[in-house]
Structure 1
Amino acid sequence: MNDLTPARLRELKRDATVRPYDLAAQLGLSEAALVEAELGFGATRIDPALSRLIPAVQKLGEVMALTRNRSCVIEKIGTYNEFHDGEHAAMTLDTEIDMRMFPRHWVHAYAVEAAGADGMRRSIQVFDAAGGAVHKVHLRAGSNLEAWNELLRDLALPDQAGLSDFDARTLPEGARIAEDRADILRAEWAKMTDTHQFNTLVRRLKMNRLGAYRIVGAPLAMPLSVEAVSALFEKVRAEQHKVMLFVGNAGCIEIHSGPIRNLKPMGPWLNVLDDRFNLHLRADHVAEVWLVDKPTRRGPAISVEAFDQAGSLIFQCFGMRPEKGGDPEAWARLVQSLPAAGAA
């Protein structure tokens, strides 16, 4: 659309009744392109390098951290503490803002100021090479504005006018299966001592997560009904389980550790609306659900994992370990009670 100049995009954003994510999809643009239309009008292009960005975000104090994929959004309130940088992976290990970050996907970043009904809204927005959202940080009333101004001054990049040439969006991979390696997969899976060994194993066997689940068989991976997702959340809430819920995309995974208190379904959305933790899940996007058992030195790591129609991971939910307040036996009973695939 040649008429979609930055000025025209700013008009469309002002008049929009949908969120930027949905507006970008309607226009056939990346979400980052909508942000770049605001360069010089409240948006500042900043350095996306985690080694500089996350320490600057930590100084902001209490903020809201948001990570999403097409089907699920997780929002946690807290401070970015205990940052550990790394060439291929980095993390924050705070009890509230607990994240795993993959630097090669942190390509475009912006500090955004926009007037809202409740005053000035400030956020950090990070996107991948295709302009897809990786992670966002929203300031709150108590956030440190002096640190915000310092971030703007120190991380602003020289080019504040040129528009980015975003890559084409990579299509979802779907399930990748190597039928001739199924026996090797089962044997090696049974020998695992840490859940982090799983990704290395399936890559070595030329498969991916969903492909491995489809081929490995019970009791290591068992298909559940799509209705198992709503049942899972309701049982976690009703039985007051403490869980670890992982939601993310290729560039960032955000983790909630603890209970679920306020569950509010609304149309296709399944919402968790707790004081410092919100989750918004498009339950109608769930196409496959798997009950997965991975051996570790500390006992089995049992998870419920949901995938969309294209084979992309939506979320993973584990029971918390006993030393963190979890009850593995109760968690095992809960997941075994979830409806299996094909159940009436």
Structure 2
Amino acid sequence: MKLSKLVLSLLGSLLIANATAAPATLAERWSTLRTEQPKLQIRDAARALGVSEAQLLATNIGKGVTRLQADGNQPREIMRAALDLGTVQAITRNENGVIETTGVASKFKQAGDKSEQADAKQDPETEARQRNIAGGYLGGQIDLRFHFENWKYAFAVEQAGRDGKPTRSLQFFDANGTAVHKIYLRNEPGVAVYDKLVATFRMPQQSAELNVLAVAPKAAEKPDAEIDVKEFQLAWKDMTDVHQFAQIMREFHLSREQALRLAPAGVVERVTPEALRTLLENAAKDKVAIMVFLGNEGLTQIYSGKIEKTMAAGGFFNVLDPDFNLHIRDTALRSGWVVKRGGVTSVEFFDKEGTQVVSFFGVRERGKPQPQAWVDLADSLPKEK
């Protein structure tokens, strides 16, 4: 009888201890998840754990992860300093696509680097534009377009790669903790430059606490009935440069896909989501040079050139060339469009949320029309019935 009471007492103590034990930390939960799924990417692990990628990465501060300054113009200045890293791999992604380019970023000539004037007193529009210049990255092997106002967190990350060798990267995130851009060092001489950059921009307080904001719901489109479609179509026809399109969309309060849907007759043709595979396969087969635009709210990365190897794998349709990779989750695509505006033909694909995943143009020389091979390729894509 006494033994039974002792056993019951011990069981009760264990139950109380378990009930009052502290819940597993995020780092511990991630460690368990990695043990269960060692090949799981950090972005997918964050989703499984109900946190942002930046929050998950921050759990390793002090263990290969260093938090960098990211207030004001600091992200721009980090990217300016990264111009000296030499050969890097630049990785940009959105929910359904990834673009990866390996090369050396180009710099502006000193006399033409107007970003030095970014902190001077200017009108707000000019000042905002100058803040998004980072001393280079326009054209060349690493071709980027920045929207630094959407960059919030920055980290330097040193960890073992798949081959066991250390990898070094700079990783940037928006206010939601979603990855905006990553740069991986791909040359040994750049290690000293990398180390100096990390020392220069290291935050004095290495806190893992991030004030991550919840992702805001996507804004609803303005109803078609409230759009002055006639005036919009006239503005479209008056376009003399493809870059005017963004201003026209803002003027008429249109989403991008909505603008394509309401375009004048004869300038837009809808193609099937499967046309993405056709475009990439035929571009590779016929050696048609293409421009690929893929990005997010913080940055757009551009690749220009010919592609060689395409294949479906891992739920994505891919380009797998030595210095250029493209991964598109084509099962997530809802629509594709061949678009003609300002004398330029593009092909654009949108996901089931109506968000642009990727767009393609033909490579052309400045001031000259796009090659006929590109126009023919775009016109040959399977049409939506």
The answer, yes or no, to whether TM exceeds 0.5 is yes
- Does structure 1 residue 129 correspond to structure 2 residue 175? yes
2:141 corresponds to which residue?
96
After superposition, the C-alpha distances for 1:281-309 in whole angstroms (9 at most, x for unaligned) are 111011110111111xxxx1110000000
1:114 to partner: Cα distance: 1.0
1:94 to partner: Cα distance: 3.9
After superposition, the C-alpha distances for 1:236-286 in whole angstroms (9 at most, x for unaligned) are 111111111001101010000001111121253111111110111111011
Cα 1:202–1:35 shift into 2, 3 Å: same
Letter in 2 for 1:35: L
Partner of 1:54, secondary structure, is helix
After superposition, the C-alpha distances for 1:23-49 in whole angstroms (9 at most, x for unaligned) are 111111111011110111111111232
Q: Distance in 1 between matches of 2:147 and 2:24?
A: 32
- Does structure 1 residue 72 correspond to structure 2 residue 97? yes
Instruction: Tell me which of 11, 19, 31 is aligned to 1:11.
Output: 31
Instruction: Tell me which of 315, 319, 330 is aligned to 2:358.
Output: 315
Q: Distance in 2 between matches of 1:167 and 1:4?
A: 23
- Does structure 1 residue 43 correspond to structure 2 residue 65? yes
Q: Distance in 2 between matches of 1:93 and 1:3?
A: 48
After superposition, the C-alpha distances for 1:109-147 in whole angstroms (9 at most, x for unaligned) are 000111233311111110000000100001124351111
Instruction: Tell me which of 311, 317, 339 is aligned to 1:270.
Output: 317
- Does structure 1 residue 224 correspond to structure 2 residue 271? yes
1:109 corresponds to which residue?
154
Cα 1:131–1:183 shift into 2, 3 Å: same
Q: Distance in 1 between matches of 2:24 and 2:295?
A: 30
After superposition, the C-alpha distances for 1:40-64 in whole angstroms (9 at most, x for unaligned) are 1111111232331112211211110
On the 8 A contact 1:225/1:340 being kept in 2, the answer is yes
- Does structure 1 residue 285 correspond to structure 2 residue 332? yes
Instruction: Tell me which of 23, 47, 53 is aligned to 1:31.
Output: 53
Letter in 2 for 1:18: L
Cα 1:143–1:63 shift into 2, 3 Å: farther
Identity %: 32
Q: Which moved more, 1:333-342 or 1:311-320?
A: 333-342
Cα 1:255–1:12 shift into 2, 3 Å: farther
After superposition, the C-alpha distances for 1:72-125 in whole angstroms (9 at most, x for unaligned) are 100001123226646343361241100001011111000011123331111111
Q: Distance in 1 between matches of 2:287 and 2:46?
A: 38
Looking at CA atoms only, which structure, 1 or 2, has the larger radius of gyration? 2
Q: Distance in 1 between matches of 2:85 and 2:184?
A: 10
Q: Distance in 2 between matches of 1:141 and 1:226?
A: 38
1:218 to partner: Cα distance: 2.9
On the 8 A contact 1:245/1:255 being kept in 2, the answer is yes
1:189 corresponds to which residue?
236
On the 8 A contact 1:304/1:318 being kept in 2, the answer is yes
Partner of 2:27, secondary structure, is helix
2:88 corresponds to which residue?
63
- Would you say how many aligned residue pairs link Structure 1 and Structure 2? 337
TM-score, structure 1 normalization: 0.92
Unpaired runs of 5+ residues, structure 2, are 1-21, 119-127
On the 8 A contact 1:177/1:212 being kept in 2, the answer is no
Cα 1:133–1:239 shift into 2, 3 Å: same
2:301 corresponds to which residue?
254
Unpaired runs of 5+ residues, structure 1, are none
Letter in 1 for 2:213: D
Structure number with higher strand proportion: 1
